[in-house]
Structure 1
Amino acid sequence: MKLLVVSHGAFCQGILDSYQMIAGENKDIFAISLTDTGIQDFSERLNKQLTELESEDILILTDIKGGTPYNEAYKYYLSNEERIRVVAGMNLPMVIEVGLNLANTKLNDLAEMAIEIGKNGIEGIVEEAAEDNDLEF
């Protein structure tokens, strides 16, 4: 199982760097950025990476649904549905949990985990909640 994180700009590389700082290096996680070199270049690099991993199941995490990284990943998914899943809305809790579970989780379960952890990793601090918080500083 492999994890591919893709995004506009350096976001995916930054999230991979943060993952490695927290959880250590993982040779099964790859990052591909859409840069100012354009969509064609991004698409070629994405397809090259996916072709190199063609014997593997791959979860692709993207930054924004409907953006170029998502759309290009989705195009690849359409011709490889048995071994590719795409999840949009990537965040660090999602990447950490998925990265730590790559070796022992099935592809569909990993995609569902990414969505659940991603949603649960979002929290806001409101005045009432701050008063009830047990954290001490």
Structure 2
Amino acid sequence: MVGVIICTHGNSAPELLKSAEMICGKQENCHTVSFTEGESLEQLKAEISGKISDLKGTVFCLTDLKGGTPFNTLVSLLKSNPEIEIITGVNIPMLLELFINRSQLETEELLSATLEAGKTGVYHYQDIDSGTADEEF
């Protein structure tokens, strides 16, 4: 089973995990890391490194923001941890896809499905007055 680390600014990582677990159940082989105000880069790097070493095999590391400190820290750890896959823009649809399929799909297929779920999970609903909307939810 692919390991998962959710690493974000503030407390959104554990809250995203809690929300996803409400829908698809308690997750094993999964950790969260919260980058908090005043935390040093060395502290963040050490915490992430510890979580990566706790998980065996491929580890999907999901962050909130490309170019942000959690993302940049993971990129700096990539050379010494080639088993990690870094995905940015974490959202609930992405997590659900990953959690539901991580023990069934191969890494590349799971990566593709996770990215697609994250993209299609962003949607702008427009109410149509005419009542002829063909879209189902």
Whether TM exceeds 0.5 here: the answer is yes
Answer yes or no: is 1:108 the counterpart of 2:103: no
Backbone CA RMSD of aligned residues: 2.2
Aligned length, in residue pairs: 134
Following superposition, which runs of at least 4 residues in structure 1 exceed 2 angstroms of deviation? 78-81, 126-131, 133-136
CA distance 1:51–1:130, change in 2 (3 Å): farther
User: In structure 2, do the counterparts of structure 1 residues 67 and 135 end up closer, same or farther at CA, with 3 Å as the change threshold?
Assistant: same
Q: Which residue of 2 aligns with 1:40?
A: 42
Q: TM-score, normalised by structure 2?
A: 0.87
1:16 deviation in Å? 0.3
Written as runs of structure 1 = structure 2, the 5 A alignment for 1:21-36 is 21-36=22-37
Q: How does 1:1-137 map to 2 (within 5 A)?
A: 1-38=2-39, 39-53=41-55, 55-81=56-82, 83-128=83-128, 131=131, 132=133
**Per the alignment, do residues 36 and 106 of structure 1 end up closer, same or farther by CA in structure 2, a change over 3 Å counting?**
same
Secondary structure of the structure 1 residue equivalent to 2:103: helix
Give the gaps of 5 or more residues in structure 2: none
**Using the alignment, how far apart are the partners of 2:73 and 2:4 within structure 1?**
16
Q: Which runs of 5+ in 1 are unaligned?
A: none
- Greater share of helix: 1
The CA deviation at 1:37 is 3.9
Q: Does the 8 Å CA contact 1:2/1:56 hold for their aligned counterparts?
A: yes
CA change 1:36–1:127 in 2 (3 A) is: same
